[in-house]
Structure 1
Amino acid sequence: MAKRAVHSTLEDAINLGPAPPGNLAIPIFSHGTMVTELYTPEGSDPQTPHSRDEIYIVAKGSGQFFDGQETLEIKEGSFIFVPAGTEYRFLNFTVGFSVWVVFYGPEGGES
């Protein structure tokens, strides 16, 4: 398999949507254990804890992130790491709020 860089803009990712049935996010790219998606919640964030570690990077908008203990202010460019199994939620986000989400590693997360 040829190795080469993969590039996507926010607009490219949105144009791949909507998310497939049963998924809350638009699949963008996968490689090995890594899966990259674009998550664009509307109104509220219905996510439940995931079985793998994940990284979020805010692509558009702002809001708050509740990590189960603390509520953090987030904006474009914010980076968030969420260990597997963690309760969390995006709150009070702006219309059009979008985050890149990267799932990786084994079920149960890395140690």
Structure 2
Amino acid sequence: MRFHVSFAESLRQLQKSDDDFAVLFEHGSMKGIIFGPDEIDGQEPHIQDEIYLVMRGSGEFVLDDKIVTVGPGDFLFVPAGMEHQFQNFTPDLLLWVIFYGQDGGEKE
């Protein structure tokens, strides 16, 4: 069972990805992802709860009608099904994302 992913390895996986994220770890319904949004964060609500941990960069995070400023070390929780996105973020914004619960699928 894989239990460790280094920051360097996560960056390599993100660079190889055709998307702005790379799945680094999966176990049951949980997924560990590295996410570096492009100029616009076009996320749709997911069917799983999710946690964001800001690794670097800064910006604003919108959850429903609430906006908070985020930066390195910040923790964000998004309940399943809620509208959310990052906006006005620096080009180096990089996040760990952990999806969990439900059946492990995502709404595309």
TM normalised by structure 2 equals 0.86
Task: Tell me, in whole angstroms, the C-alpha distance in 2 between the residues paired with 1:10 and 1:72.
Answer: 26
Alignment of 1:17-96 (within 5 A): 17=14, 18-20=16-18, 24-96=20-92
- RMSD of the TM alignment (CA)? 1.8
Match of 2:3 in 1: 6
Structure 1: tracts of 5 or more residues without a match? none
Moved over 6 A (4+): none
The structure with the larger Rg is 1
Task: Tell me, in whole angstroms, the C-alpha distance in 2 between the residues paired with 1:65 and 1:10.
Answer: 23
SS in 2 for 1:16: helix
Note the C-alpha offset of 1:7. Answer: 2.1
Match of 1:102 in 2: 98
Identity %: 35
Structure 2: tracts of 5 or more residues without a match? 104-108
Q: Deviations over 1:68-105 (max 9, x none)?
A: 11110000111001000000110111112111000001
SS in 2 for 1:46: coil
Task: Tell me, in whole angstroms, the C-alpha distance in 1 between the residues paired with 2:102 and 2:23.
Answer: 19
| Aligned residue pairs, count | 103
